[in-house]
Structure 1
Amino acid sequence: MITEWPVPAEFPLYAPIDRAAEIAGVSRDKMREWAHDQRDPLPQIPCGRKRLVRIGALPEYLMRRECV
């Protein structure tokens, strides 16, 4: 079951990979790596030639990526 973080009003619901990386505090290359991961891709939608990341899904996705 996916629970989503409520997106603060100052953030967009979806953002390009570069902006999503900035919001998450990770490098653009790392965010792109996650977006292209075949086993556990970052929640996103195609928009022309760009990919838009669902900002509300970032916290849960990042928690799955934590090294415990």
Structure 2
Amino acid sequence: MTLQEVQNQALQLPTGDRWQLVQVLLDSLKRESNPQSKRRNLSRLRGVARISAVAGESNIQADYITYLTEKYQ
């Protein structure tokens, strides 16, 4: 069956059935363009760059000063 034949048959469907067909096609395209593996990989990275609440800003500054001191000795 060609694309033109499918289009012609789809246009003969009642309005409700055409909306349902549109939804099925859109869902299909979403699944193909956003595979689960991409979502799974990104979800594993959530919070990686976050600084823990335990480390205060003074600790971060002290660590940075220590790093610079050691680097430029």
Q: What range is the shorter-chain TM-score in?
A: under 0.3
Q: Normalized against structure 1, the TM-score is what? A: 0.21
Considering Cα pairs closer than 8 Å and 6+ residues apart, tell me whether 1 or 2 has the greater RCO.
1
Q: Which has the higher strand share?
A: 1
Could you say which structure has the higher helix fraction? 2
